[in-house]
Amino acid sequence: MKRIGILYVQELKNAFHSFLAYILIAVFMAIASYFFASLIATFSILSQQWKATPGAPEISFNLTEIVLAGLFVNVACLALFFTPMLTMRSFCEEKRSGTLELLLTLPVRDYEVVFGKFLSVITLYFLMVLPLLLYPLLVRYVGGYFEWGTIFTGFLGLMLLGACLAAAGIFISSLTDNQVISSVLSFGLLILLWTIGWVENFSEENPVRWISHFSLFEHYKSLAKGILDVKDIVYYIFLTVFFLYATLLSLESRALKR
C-alpha cells in the first residue's frame, strides 16, 4: 500500500505541475454550468407556458426529473470526452520518455503501478465532478428543491462511470506510446460502449437486444433518475476490474518481450 501511495502522489504532482488538471477541471465546470443554467431556464419557460395556457391539463413539473436527471446525463456525456484526456498520459508518457522500463524494474509490482495511476485519475475525476454539489445548494437557496435520493444515486452513478472510464482509458494508454492516439482510441471505445444499447432500436431479435445490456448508458440512466439497482453497480464494478486486469496483462506481455 505504501508503494501505491507513493506512485499515486507522484502522478497527481505530475498532473498539477503540467497545469493539465487545472485546465480540464475549469473547462469541465464551465460547460457543466452552462448545461445547468440551460436546464433551469428550460424548466422555467415550460412552467410559465403551462400556467399561461388556458385549460391546460394538470401536469406536475418535477424540478428533479427535468433539471437534475438531465444534468447528470449531460455531465456523463462530458465525462466521455474529458476522461481520455486524463488517462492519455498514464503510460504513454512513461513509454515516450523511456521511464516505464525503469519503473517496472524497481521493487514495485505491476498491480501497484496500475492502481497508483488509476487512483490518481479517479481523484482528478472526482475533483471535476465534486463542484456539482453546489448546484443543489444553490437551488435550495433560491427556494427550489432537489430530491436527495436522486442526488445520491446520480453522484454514485457518476463515480462508478468515472471508475469504468478511467480503467478503460488506462488500458488503452498501456497499448501505445502516443498520447493523441491513446486519447482518440479511448474516446472511440467509450463512445462505442455508451451507444451500443442503441441496437435494440433497430432489431427485435433477442441476440441483438442482448448486446444492449453491455451499454454504459443503459446502466447509468437509471441511477441518474434516482433508481438504485444492484445489477447496475455490479456491471460498473465488473467492467472496471476487467479493464484494470487487461492493463496488467498488457504490462506483463511488455515485460516478456524485453
Nearest-10 crossing angle of helices 110-129, 89-97? 130
pLDDT value at residue 126: 93
The lowest-confidence range among 85-99, 155-169, 221-235 is 85-99
Mean pLDDT of 167-187: 90
Domain boundaries along the sequence of the chain: 2-257
For residue 94, pLDDT beyond 80: no
pLDDT of the residue at 105: 62
Span 14-41, average pLDDT = 88
- Comparing C-alpha atoms, which of 177, 158, 179, 176 is closest to residue 76? 158
**Residue given cell 470526452 in the structure block:** 81
Is the pLDDT reported for residue 15 higher than 90?
Answer: no
Give per-residue pLDDT as tens, 110-166. Answer: 778 888 889 999 999 999 999 888 888 887 776 677 778 888 999 999 999 999 999
pLDDT at 98 over 90: no
**pLDDT for 14:** 81
The residue written with cell numbers 492519455 in the block is: 88
Per-residue pLDDT at 110: 76
Instruction: Provide the pLDDT confidence category of residue 202 given band limits of 50, 70 and 90.
Output: low
**Predicted pLDDT of residue 234:** 94
Q: Give pLDDT, residue 239.
A: 94
Query: Rounded to the nearest 5 degrees, what angle is found at the Cα of 63, between the Cα atoms of 139 and 138?
Result: 5
Query: 89 pLDDT band (50/70/90 cuts)?
Result: confident
Backbone angles phi, psi at 225, to 5 degrees: -95, 0
pTM comes to 0.87
Decide: helix, strand or coil at residue 112. helix
User: CA 59 to CA 181: how far, in whole Å?
Assistant: 49
pLDDT at 225: 85
Cα→Cα distances 256→116, 117, 247, 252, Å:
22, 22, 14, 6
Place of cell 443543489: 136
Lowest mean per-residue pLDDT among 61-70, 147-156, 187-196: 61-70
Q: Measured between alpha carbons, how far is 129 from 202 in angstroms, rounded to an integer?
A: 34
Residue 55 has pLDDT above 70, yes or no: no
Q: Is the separation of the CB atoms in 195 and 173 below 8 Å? A: no
> Is residue 170 very low, low, confident or very high in pLDDT (cuts 50, 70, 90)?
very high
pLDDT at site 176: 84
The arithmetic mean of pLDDT across residues 101-112, rounded, is: 68
Determine the 3-state secondary structure of 136 from DSSP. helix
